[in-house]
Amino acid sequence: MNTAHPDFDVMAASRSRHHAIVIGSGFGGMASAIRLAAKGYRVTLLEKLDALGGRAYTYEQDGFKFDGGPTIVTVPELFQELWTLCDRRLEDDIDLRLMNPFYRIRFDDGKIFDYTGDKEENLRQIRDYNPRDAEGYERYLKASADRHKVGFALLDKPFSTFGQLLRFAPDLVRLRGDQSVYKLVSRFIKDDYLRMAVSFHPLLIGGNPFTASSLYSLISHLEVTGGVWSAMGGTGRIVEAMGNLMKSQGTTIRLNAEVDQITAESGRVTGVRLKNGEQLDAELVISNADAAWTYRQLLSETKRRKWTDKRVDKAHFSNGLFVWYFGTNKQYHDIPHHSIVLGPRYKGLLTDIFRHKRMTDDFSLYLHRPTATDPSMAPDGCDTFYALVPVPHLDSGTDWTTYAEIFRQAVEARLEATMIPELGKHLATSLMLTPLDFQNRLNSVKGAGFSFEPRITQSAYFRPHNESEEVKGLYLVGAGTHPGAGMPAVLSSAKVIDNLIPAVAYAH
């Protein structure tokens, strides 16, 4: 049981069985459900799709198992906390394996950098590119650690008041939070290849390394100190295990249950209305649906002061994603679990994606090969892959209904020429997701892969707050609220509301 809130009477909550509704079963939603149930709330989780996980939905086709989204696990302690709340041990349910290398980065000319958890090994490779950058890399890691010290402490704290922003401001100024990740990296590292290899991290959470605040360089520190992990059975195994935790707590899980409207009266939530017209009453509603969607669609019948349609429409959204899941009838033993295949352009490509919203012929991609670690993800003698390509969100005007297959063929050709020889000949199964699917399946505004873009003017206080600014009793978790996208961040958003809810729930 959570004892972090001295003003909260857990037994009373248990007796009263206050009802909390969680909309959406992404990691943020499931973590919230687990935390609230552990406090004694009666929890109902409503999910639009036919299975749990949100972006971590899993697909199975022709015997191949695909994690739909997240594959790189960092800060596993955040999962462990949820297991502890249920008096269980994470390691009894999930077998996490440390990745080596963390990622293989393949530059356009075929040069390779294996980014590993071994600093000496990284330094050895850095010296091969540019001997003088070895010392610079060490100084960059120190800068990343400084930003981690400030930034990580804020991850599980609400950022709801201007006062909190003011308290944070001196650190922001001292650490040059106004500078981009790329600029910070470039202060220490001179080689162009290495600058790419060390600065790409914001892309993992929907940010452009050239505009995302240098505070996000804390991800480098997280990785080198905490490791990059993957789950045996895939991330889907974690989703399944969290489903079991929720069931063991007595949470009601309803799939194929899309919320149409969050209902409110006199400035306070009363519950939700489902698409089928059913009304469910609750004292608390936790929305794990995309924050922009929550305000624009789910609260459309309630007068809003801050997150008006106009403000949502003017916001900057993260890039979109084209994901091609495929299997091969042979194994490619020399491809590691995580690879990044960079194209000929870096800054120009990112400017086209993020600023101009322009589809271009060149692209970079992340290649996932889970069978490098876990052969059970594919039939015997086969490999499971996915290629994830950052593309502009739907403002590009691309007609994905016709362009998806053309683009898939371009991705196939690129992979055949770089990492997977004779891919076309050995293709055994194929499945695609485009920004249109992110919009239509996941209710993501503009089909963005990661909701609001993480730029300084849309971070922390400037993101939709975890405790809604519009109606009492409504809380937001997941990628579109504070602290942002990525599994560690959305799990932290559930921690934020865990810290907020008791006082709020019983004050009214």
Ligand X SMILES: Cc1cc2nc3c(=O)[nH]c(=O)nc-3n(C[C@H](O)[C@H](O)[C@H](O)COP(=O)(O)OP(=O)(O)OC[C@H]3O[C@@H](n4cnc5c(N)ncnc54)[C@H](O)[C@@H]3O)c2cc1C
Interacting residues with ligand X (CB under 6 A): 23-29, 46-49, 54-56, 69-72, 258-259, 288-289, 298, 321, 323, 388, 442-443, 449-450, 478-479, 485-487, 490
CA distances from 442 to 24, 293, 307, 451 (A): 9, 10, 20, 11
Q: Quick one: 337 or 426, whose CB is closer to ligand X? A: 337
Give the list of residues 6+ apart from residue 67 with CB closer than 8 angstroms, or none.
56, 58, 234, 235, 236, 368, 370, 386
Chain-centroid distance of CA 60 in Å reads 22
- Closest CB 293 distance from ligand X, rounded Å: 6
Q: Do residues 343 and 361 touch, judged by C-beta distance below 8 A?
A: no
Among all residues, whose Cβ is closest to ligand X?
26
Give the list of residues 6+ apart from residue 352 with CB closer than 8 angstroms, or none.
358, 360, 392
Question: How many other C-beta atoms lie within 10 A of the C-beta of residue 60?
Answer: 12
Task: Compute the distance between CA of residue 182 and CA of residue 176 in angstroms, rounded to an integer.
Answer: 12
- Closest CB 412 distance from ligand X, rounded Å: 18
- Closest CB 71 distance from ligand X, rounded Å: 4
Q: Quick one: 49 or 145, whose CB is closer to ligand X? A: 49
Q: Quick one: 172 or 231, whose CB is closer to ligand X? A: 231
- Closest CB 302 distance from ligand X, rounded Å: 15
Please list the alpha-helical segments (H only) found in 155-214. 162-174, 181-188, 192-199
Sheet holding 284-287, edge to edge: 252-254, 42-46, 19-23, 284-287, 474-476
Q: Do residues 266 and 470 touch, judged by C-beta distance below 8 A?
A: no
Q: Quick one: 206 or 343, whose CB is closer to ligand X? A: 206
Backbone angles phi, psi at 75, to 5 degrees: 50, 60
- Closest CB 285 distance from ligand X, rounded Å: 11
- Closest CB 202 distance from ligand X, rounded Å: 12
> Hunting for tokens 């209710």 — which residue is that?
443
Q: Quick one: 154 or 487, whose CB is closer to ligand X? A: 487
- Closest CB 444 distance from ligand X, rounded Å: 7
Q: Quick one: 28 or 502, whose CB is closer to ligand X? A: 28
Q: Quick one: 144 or 288, whose CB is closer to ligand X? A: 288
